[in-house]
Structure formats: C-alpha cells, structure tokens
Structure 1
Amino acid sequence: MKNIVVMVLFVLCCFTSIQGQNTSIEETETFFPNADVLKEDTIEYKFLSVPENWDDPKSNTIKIAVCILKNKSNKANADAVVFIQGGPGASGVQNIRSWYRHPLREKNDIVLFDIRGTGFSEPRLCPDLGKKFMEILAKNQSETEDEKQKTAEALFCKQDLLNQGVDIEAYNSLSVSRDLHALKTLLGYSNWHVYGASYGTYMAQVYTSMFPKDIKTLSLDSPISEISTYYTKNTTNYISSLSKVFKRCLSDSDCHNQYPDLETIYYKTIADLEEHPITVKVDKKIIASGEFTYNSEDFKIAIQQALYNKKLVEVIPLLIYQFHERNEDALGNLVAAFSSLLGMDYGVYFCVSCNETLPNNKISEYQTDASKYKGLKGGVAFYKSDFKVCEKWNLNRQDTIVPHDLSKLSSISSPVLVFSGEYDPITPLTNGDKVARKFKKGYTVVGHNLGHVPGFTRTGSKVAEFFINNPNKQLDISAFKKEATIDFVGGVALNPGVSKVGNNLSKINLVFLLPLFVALLIMFVFIFTYVIKLIRKKYKTNSDKIIRVLSILTSIVGITGLISLVLALTKVAGQNYFVLAFGLPENFNYIFTVLLIFSALLFITMLYFIVRIKIINDRSIVFSVLFSNILLVTYLFYWGIL
C-alpha cells in the first residue's frame, strides 16, 4: 500500500511539474482527411502544447502534432511505443503507413509525433526551403555558387523565423526530450518503449540520458554513435558502403559481365560530369524551369542516396552506367525521386543542426577525411555546404555549444536494441556496436543486404516486435541472415515511357484516362460482335470482310499489348519498382514488339479503310473502332512507349 501511495505522489508531482510549465494536450481532427483506410481505424489525433523555450517562463507556446494508433487487442492499459523520426526535420506522423499495420500494434499503442517545427506541428519552420534547394541543385552552376545560394536561402529562412518571434535556439534534442517527457505524462503512461530512427536515435539517446525512468526499452534504428564525427566521417562512411557494391558486383558474374569496371566508371563519370553536365527535361511541377542539370555533385548524392534502400542498391550499377552513357530520358525520370530527398522541413534541419551538430564537427577534419578519396574530388558538397550554412547561421551567437553529456547512458538498465544496415552510407554498420557498448544491455542486430533503417523491413518489424514484447528473452541477432541477398538489376530494355505509364496508372486520373477506357470498351464490343457476324457470314463483299478482319485483329493485338504492359508493370513494381525508371527487363521485350505490330496493323487498316471507304457498309461503326485504336496508339505515343 505504501508503494502505491508513493507511486501516486510521484505521478502527481510530475503532472504538477508539467502543468507548471504551461503544457496541455487536446484532441483535434484527423491529419489525413482523405485517407479512408485510416478513418476505419482506432486512431486519436492530438496537439500537445508546450513552451517553445522550456527555460523561459515567458516563452511562446507551440503545438506538437501527435497521432496515437491504439492497440489491436483493445487493451485499456497497453504499453506504448513512441517513435522519434530522423532528419532532423522529417515528419513522424506522416510515417503512419509504416506503423498502422506494424506487428507491434497487436499489444501496444503506437505514438507518433512531429518534432517541434515539422509536419503538422505549429508553427512549421520554413516548409518551402527544401523546394528552393531543389531549384538551386537543378541549375548548371559551380559547387561554390550552389553553396552561396544555399546559404543565402537558409539565412533568409532564419531571418524570417526571427521576424516571426521564433526562438530558433530552442529547437534541439534537449527541447524534444522535454517535449517527450511532457507528452508521456499527459497521456498517462508511466514509461514507454522508445524507438528512434536515424537522427532520431541521437534524440532518443539524449532523451534517455535526461529521463531514464521514462524508458521501458530503447530501440535505435541506424544509430548515430558520436555526434562529433557525424559529419567529419561522412565521406568515409559513403565510400565504404559504395565499395561493398563494387566488390559484390565484381564477384557476381552476371553483374560483372554487364557492368565491367564499375568502380572505374563511377569515378570517370564524376570527372566527365565536372566538364560536361547533363541537362534533362522534367515536370514543371517539380522544377519550375522544366529542366534539371546533373553535375558531378548531383551524381554523387544520387548514388549516396541509392545506398539507403535495398531495391535502389540493386540498381546502382545500372544507374552509374546510365549516367556514364548520358541517358537523358532515364535520368529525367529520376528527378522526382531525387526531389523527395529534400521533402523534409529544412527550417528545423538547420535549427537543430546548427544548434548541436555542426558546431561539434570540424570542417578541417571533414576535409582531411574527404582528401583520402581523390576521385571523389572533395567529398559530397551536399553535406559539406552545411558547414558554411551553420557558420553564418551562428555568426552572432554568444554562447558556446558543447555536446550533450551522454555518459550516464552506461548506467541505464533498460534493454537496448540496435539495428545497423550493411550498406548504410550515413550511419554505417560500425556505429551499431559502438552504440550498443554504451549500455549495460545493448544488443546489435545487423541488417544484412540492407541500407538505412533496416528495422522498417518485414524482418526488422518482427525483430522489433519480439524485442519490445519480450525484452528479457533471447533475441535472434542473426534474423537478417535469412534476408534475400542483393540481386543486381541487369538486362533492362530501356524505354522512357514505362515510368510515365506507371505514374499514370498508380495515380489514376479519371478525366485523363476516361477516353482510353471508352475506347477499350468500344474495341471489346466490336471484337465480340463482329467475330460472331463473320462466323455467321453476314457480309457479302470482300471489302466488308477484310476491313472487319483487319479491325478485329488490330484491336486484339492492341488490347493484348496494353494488358501485357500493365501486367509487366505490376510484376516488376512488386519485385523492384525502381527498375521502371529505366524500362522493363529484357524478358518483356515481346511487349514492345506486340505494340509495334499493333501500330503497323493500324496503319494498314486505316490505309485500306481510306482506299475502300466508298464501298464499305456501316462506315461509321468501322470508323468508331478505328478511332478507338488511334486513341490507344496516341496514349502510347504520349507516354513514350512507342
């Protein structure tokens, strides 16, 4: 009884302390009004109100978006798993599709939140900054000019935030940790399971150090081991992971035969693009100018980002060769994927990075590390430029920025699961063991054949579910050895239209596709009706027979080609959808042959119709089916398939 009283007093004390800091939580409407599948689920949407500056009693109040996916077992007092997203600046709430069917939901509530300043949280800091960076990268200009313009845009963002009264120094891991502590208390959890991903692993470590009693278990997916080397070792981390691709391709006879001298071609492409960038056409919704120019820096960051995802790792040899061969059509299709890299909230990215990351990394050490790789020509400017941004960002700052003291982590008794991906280019495999050794009960699980955040794979989800629900049981640290090995993509029939068809069909626009659906319906009806009439010998003249046979044959071949194309797209997308940016595997070459035959038959049929038009009966009906075929071939030309 005494223990219960002490516990109640402790909770009340914490709650009173939280209330004293002007915090509250309130329900709100769904953040996803158009997602019908989520409306059918048991999900709560809330806003957590906290001080912008926890140490200033007069601080502004900000709102943090929270999404709670209730457990599937309908347990009233279920444990909770809180997810800390990375970036810093990516949205945790928008990651809901990775969690709403996660096996952890069977017994646990899943708490997603957008760290202060991101996503649905209010205020949102400079949400358009990433788009401006994309416009800069799209230009054909030097690395120095890119850095100059990027810095200018970042400083414009900073000044805009200051003009709005935003306390930019209050956006850091310490503040996020206090936000989490307040959220846990106001939601009524005594403690919870914490799951951090990427930069969120660093925030999770800071949170654990500050509030160790909040932590039931800790899962760190692709962890940061030392904040002071997060940037300085960037080049080595990248090249170490990329070298694994080169080595594996060399030992794979199919890959080596199709992509000989892969490593040499990679460095040669960097040198070529320095002298002769590649300008490609892109959708103006992505780049207002309608053009994107790939230079050597864009190439380097594109390959670095490909190492994040297993399916992209499998296309790296193909991707390197497409850059080397200057395939503008295929590279144009990649820009949309490239733009997603800049989809997070860069206002928060620089607030956090300039508050706690870059000041604890030395540009001289970065340059020393990058100088080891002569062919890379100075590391990766996309990351190196952050040093210049933060130098200017912190120009008038008075305080000295020191790393958070994480020495207390060694006394944490909570079990800790650490995921590390074999090909991860930003938080490499070596980080896993370093982080696990910080804790009394740290367990490293290697994501074999995987890149960044391997915990979000099917195998990773099962490992995380077992660990969190059974923290004291033996963990299968070799679970990922059952993961399928890297299967490099080769033998692709290049066709720029494949990607366009895939995008049109994945995001169905009924207004755009309705004429095609009507045309296909007319063709089906014509085939069925006139095959029967021909069998019954309803036509007396050869002209009527021939035009109908030609029209039926053309329609059948056209429909067969289109259906085969859609089925091929579906199959390839299920295996590796990144292949569609380039074309289809060569075993689907017959589809392009069928569509070419369709085009030839249509030409012959139209020519015969024009020549014999005066003696053909029911010309309007025949013309309607011919027009339907013309419409189909028009779509194929528009997509770029033909």
Structure 2
Amino acid sequence: MKKYFIISLILTFSINALSQQSISIEKTDCFLDDCDQFKNYPNIEFGHLNVPEDYENHTGRWIKVAFTLVKSTMDNPEPDPILVFGGGWGQPELNRTLWQSNMIPAKNRDIILFDYRGSGYSRPKLCPDLGEKHLEIIKQDLDFDAFNEKINQQFYACFDELQKRGIDYRLYGTESKTKDALKLIEQLGYTTVNLFGVSNGTMGIQGFIRAAEGSKVEIRSIYSDSNIPMRDFQQGDLSVLYKEVIEKILDDCAKNRDCNAAYPNLKERFRNFLIETMSKPLTYNGESEIVFNTYLINSVIHQLLYNSTLHKDIPLLLEAFIANELDFLDGIYPVLEEILLESNGTAIINYTYDWKARQAEVSKEYEETKKSIPEYMWTDFWLDFYTKDSTIALNPRDTIPVTSDVPALVVAGTYDPFTAPEYSRIMNERYSNSYYFEFPKVGHSVFVTPCGQKMLNEFLKQPEAEPSSECLENLASTPIPFTTSIYANSKVSSLIKKVAIDRNLLWIVILFVPFLLALIYIFREVIRVIRKKTYSALRTVLFLSVIIFLVGLGYYMLATVNLGGLTLFFGLIDEAWWLPWFSLVIIILGILQLYRMIKESKYTFWNFGAIVSAVLVLITAFGHGIHLF
C-alpha cells in the first residue's frame, strides 16, 4: 500500500510540473507596425520571451515580453552582446531598433532591445490609450491644477481597468522588468553582457545588476548616460532645473554679439511673457484648436531642450512664442503629439514605484516650486499623481542603492533639463570602477553627440581603459551657433514633408514636370544656337527662371536640413531671401509668354509647356508662402 502511495505521489508531482509553463523564447516573424523597413536586414530577429507575471507564482498569469535581436554581420563577432534598456519609464523601444543599431558604435556585437512588460509590443498592454486620453485633456483650456486633477483621474481609471482584467499592476515595476531582462539574456544563450542605458534606462541597469546577483550571467561593461540613481533621484523641483537650463542658454545668447542683437534682453522678456500668459494664453489653430497656456508652452520648450542640437534655435523659438506667431507649431506639434501618444500604464506604474521612497520630500518640494516660480511650471503628467498617490506601496528594495565594481562609463550633459549632472555624480560614486565625464552645453542623452559616440566606441572596445576626453575641450570652447537670421517662412517645412517623408505623388509631379520640361527645352535651345537656328528668347528666359527657382529652392531646403535644429520649422537659411522675388519674375514672364502665344496664335507644345511649368512653379511658391504678397 505504501508503495502505491509513493508512486501516486510521484505521478501527481510530475503531472503538476508538466502542467506548469516554463520560461522560454519564441522566435517569430516581424510583428512591428512597419516591417518593410527590415526587408534588407535579415540579421534582425524578432521574438517574445514567455515569463510569469509573478516570478513567485508560475501557475498564475504568463506574459510576453517582445524583443528584437540585431545580429552582428561581422565575420567573427564578440560573444558578449549589448543589452539596451529603454528610457522614459515605459517608452516602447522596438520601434527604434534600426536607429539604435545604427547609433550604437559596436558593429562587432549583437544588440538586444526589448519593450518593458506591459508596454509597446509586449503583452498584455497596460492602458495603451492613455496618451490619446491625455491629448483630449490638453485640448481643453484648463488651469494647472485642474489639468493635473483630470490626468490623475485617468490614471486611477487605468488601475481600475487593470484590476477588472485581473492584471496585478504592482508586478510591472523596475524589479520585475529587470528580471525579464536577465531571463532574456539567459534564454538567448549569452553568458556575458554589456549594459546600455540612457535616462530611465540607467534605472534598468541598476535593476539588472541586482537581478543578476547569484546568476551565471556576467556583466562585462556598463554605459550609463543621463543618470537616474535608485533612491536619490526624484525631485519635486524639476521646474527649477528647467528654468536653470533655459537661463544658461539665454545667458550664452546674451554673450554672443549677433544673438544679443537679434534677441535683445530675451531672458527678461521671456519671463515677463510667461507671467502674462498665465492670464492671457495663446491659441494655436492647427488641425484642432489648442489653448497654449503657460505650462503647455513650457512643456513644448522643455521637450525640445532634451536635444542639444536644438539649443541654437531656442531664442528663435522663444521669440516666436512672444510674438504669438505659432505657425511653426504645424511642424513641431505632430512630433510632440507622437511622443505623447506613447504614454501607457507601464510608465506611471514604473514612475510611481521607483520613487515612492521620496514621496514626502518630493511633495514638499513640488508645492514650494509651484509657489516660488509658477510661471516656469511644465506638465510632467506623472509628478502630480506621484506626490498624491496612496495606492502603490513602497518597494523596500528601492531604498537600497545599487553598487558595482564592473567597468562603467558614466556621463552627463551640463544642459540636461531633466537629469542634472548631480545625479550622475551620485551614480559615479556607486560604481567603484567607473570613468565620469560631464559634456559641456549638451542636453539629455550624451551618446548621440559625435564626442559621445567616440568615447562610447573606445569604452566598448576596452572597458578597462579610460577613454580619451579631448573632444570635451572642443565642446567647452565652441560657442552655440545661434540662428540669428533666416528667411522666415514656416510653410516651407510642409513641402519637405510632402516630398521627402510622405512621398506625395502629386507634389513630386508638380516639382518634377516643370524641371524636366525646362531642362529638355534648354538643351534643345542650346543645340539650336549651336546650329545657328532661331530661338525664342522670352520662352528660354522663362524656362531658365523655372530651373533657377527650383534648383535654388531645393538647395536651400537641403542646406537648412543639414543645418539641423528647428530652423526648418521657421523658414530657410537667410540666403534664400531672393526666392519670393523670383516668384514675381516668373509671374511677369509667364504673363508675357501667355500674351505672346495668344497674340501670335502659336499654340505649340513648347509654348504650352512653358506656361504650364510657370503655373506649377507658382502653385508651389504660393502654396508654401514663397511670394511677396
């Protein structure tokens, strides 16, 4: 009898073990929204990591963590990949696969990206429509407190929805997502890994270090950029940092003779403008009407401060706001809207979880900031909720700093509007074998700069050796090349979008047909001159004017794009000033050509072609504000 009982017990355990799922990798075809971009990249693989929602309960809900694996195309790649932790708390990362693989200077290593559990292409998705709901509130004319109250209501509605779906949102914080990362490395068969993180990605690195304790996975190197140290980062006075960075840039402008002449006394005028908009907001009439009050204006500027290549146009941007000339938002707003639409439940859960240890201090700092500099408050979306929330409990592990002796490159930008260098210094102290550098006049995410790329490349090749920092001296000594003079025309950017991005067939034809006709005709007339045959001077000048206008427009648009920054949303480089005058020349020549054709009754192909070419060029010019009227 005892024998049968033991056999029965063994069978019961075996059946239970077989019924439980196991952590595994599931390779798939591309599942991103735009898979066409990967047609020429057979080295990029897609898949899901199957893991339990609760690592302490394998019999409960199982979830899928989406990842991409960019395999090195080198003949003998290094065995240790680079694992990328996304920034933004819950910002999807897989849509940036190609960009990240091109930006990270390590062609001899595999690169792994993944969407944190609950976000992006991972399943389940936690309240993926939060961004759309935020957008609806932005379009309402609400004061700062009313705006935050409605945003907070959305978050609690999200939590209620997740509870109804049986999803334990407490299991979607940093501790869980970094365990996912460790399991991903193990399941892919790697034993050594390099960690890469920017902003909140540096929190992911710290979580991974903690998760990997006692595992067989070794960490070869750590790249930690724009740092967020566990326990000690979150502040309630983030608007103070925003104000400081704005004033640093405007002080640089004041010291620059040309910039100061173009935008005199801008720091004081901008502050007065913000104070005025607290009672008299601006209205932007784009696809939908949006009231731009003080905190929304600051939010737009704050977002643009992240990228230091945009700093040169910040005075131009502020001057446009002050003058209530908001046409530039036609180009900028869709990009900002796209960023906002990425907001999801994972973001607020991570944000609130990670900083619960400082909630009381942050609440006090937040209230003091609202009282001291209300004109510089911007919409953090999550900060107000964090200071008030009582539904997410403190994770005691988040109060314990993470330390490591792994070789680390810790970097910060001195003009970072969100993660000030002081936080990176804290992180540097916790990594005992680290190299620390501050990049002068650089914003958030240092590695995208040429100097950052150079240092990251050296570090990845040899983590035990300090990378050369000579390029930092050039950054310090090179002034910001402020844009002080442009051909002001915010409508030109829409033409580039139609042709280069949307590839609108109609506008491609409108530009291509007159250019092609003019080229053929000019070539034909040159042959006629060589053969000493008669030719039409008026028609030739008209076609030549068409070519000059289109070539000039294309050249200045390309030059403005290469200039970088925000300039394209405001117009073209200053040298394009003559284009509107040339529109007038084409009008006059076109009228003369039409008059001659009718008078002489010569309705030939080339007469019609010249007039059609002129009309198409003028449609382009007048449709995009390139005229004198």
Fold similarity call, TM over 0.5:
yes
| AA matched with 2:449 | T
Task: State the alpha-carbon separation in 2 of the partners of residues 39 and 189 from structure 1.
Answer: 26
Residues 1:201 and 1:194: Cα distance change in structure 2 (over 3 Å): same
CA distance in 1, matches of 2:299, 2:267: 16
Match of 1:22 in 2: 22
2:420 counterpart residue number: 428
What residue is the counterpart of 2:11 in the other structure?
Answer: none
| Equivalent in the alignment of 2:152 | 151
Match 2:600 to one of 615, 626, 635: 615
> Following TM superposition, by how much is the alpha carbon of 1:205 offset from its aligned partner in structure 2, in angstroms?
1.2
Say yes or no: does 1:239 pair with 2:239: no
The number of equivalent residue pairs is 602
Task: Note if 1:566 corresponds to 2:570.
Answer: no
Provide the C-alpha distance between the structure 1 equivalents of 2:269 and 2:448, rounded to a whole number of angstroms: 32
Contact 2:411 2:424 in 1 (8 A): yes
Say which is worse superposed, 471-480 or 354-363, in terms of deviation.
354-363
Unaligned runs of 5+ in 1: 1-16, 285-289, 540-544
Identity %: 24
Contact residue 556 and residue 573 of structure 2 kept, 8 A: no
Mapped pair 1:449 → 2:441? yes
AA aligned to 2:311 is V
CA deviation map 1:210-235 (0-9, x unaligned):
32464221111100135454232312
Task: Look up the match of 1:367.
Answer: 366
1:639 is aligned to 2:624: yes
SS of the residue corresponding to residue 339 of structure 1 reads helix
| SS of residue paired to 2:101 | coil
1:207–1:103 CA distance, 2 compared to 1 (3 A): closer
Deviation at 1:270, TM superposition (A): 0.7
2:584 is matched by which residue type in structure 1? L
The Cα shift of 1:502 comes to 2.0
> Measured at CA, do residues 343 and 446 of structure 1 come closer, stay the same or move farther in structure 2, by a change above 3 Å?
farther
SS of the aligned residue for 1:550 comes to helix
2:124 corresponding residue in structure 1: 123
- Do structure 1's residue 276 and structure 2's residue 280 form an aligned pair? yes
Q: 1:506 aligns with which of 500, 511, 518?
A: 500
Matches within 5 A, 1:406-425: 406-409=400-403, 412-425=404-417
- Structure 1 residue 299 displacement after superposition: 1.3
Partner in structure 1 of residue 486 of structure 2: 492
Map 1:442-591 → 2, pairs under 5 A:
442-483=434-475, 484-507=478-501, 508-529=503-524, 548-591=536-579
Q: Secondary structure at 2:150's aligned position in 1?
A: helix
| CA deviation profile, 1:327-370 (whole Å, cap 9, x unmatched) | 12223332123324314232211121233335633353233551
Aligned ranges 1:257-296 → 2 under 5 Å: 257-282=261-286, 284=287, 290-296=288-294
1:316 and 2:314 aligned:
yes
Q: Partners in 2 of 1:625 and 1:180 — Cα distance?
A: 64
Cα–Cα, structure 1 residues 281 and 619, in superposed 2: closer, same or farther, change >3 Å? farther
Change (3 A) 1:253 1:591: same
- Answer yes or no: is the 8 Å Cα contact 1:199–1:224 preserved in 2: yes
1 CA distance for matches of 2:124 and 2:521?
59
- 1:421 CA displacement: 0.8
Distance 2:131 2:175 in 1: 25
CA contact (8 A) 2:510 2:620 kept: no
- Offset at residue 618 of structure 1 (A): 3.1
Report the Cα offset of residue 425 of structure 1: 0.6
> For residues 550-570 of structure 1, what are the alpha-carbon distances to aligned partners after superposition, in whole Å with 9 as ceiling and x for unaligned?
333222212211211111111
Are residues 78 and 191 of structure 1, via their aligned partners in 2, closer, same or farther at CA, if it must alter by over 3 Å?
closer
Question: Using the alignment, how far apart are the partners of 2:164 and 2:506 within structure 1?
Answer: 44
> How far is the alpha carbon of 1:480 from its aligned partner?
2.7
State how far apart, in whole Å, the 2-side matches of 1:149 and 1:636 are: 44
Mean CA deviation greater in 432-441 or 67-76: 67-76
2:85 is the alignment partner of 1:84: yes
Q: Could you say which residue in structure 2 is the equivalent of 1:602?
A: 590
- The one-character-per-residue Cα deviations of 1:133-176 (angstroms, maximum 9, x if unpaired) are 23322333322332233223333333333333322111110001
CA offset digits 1:517-575 (Å, max 9, x no partner): 23432333344445655786867xxxxx7xx4333322221221121111111112112
Q: Which of 213, 231, 234 is residue 230 of structure 1 equivalent to?
A: 234
Determine the C-alpha separation between the residues in 1 that align with 2:589 and 2:231: 65
Displacement of 1:602 in angstroms is 2.5
| Aligned partner letter, 1:160 | E
| Distance change (3 Å), C-alpha of 1:233 and 1:214 | farther
Residues 481-490 or 577-586, more deviating:
481-490
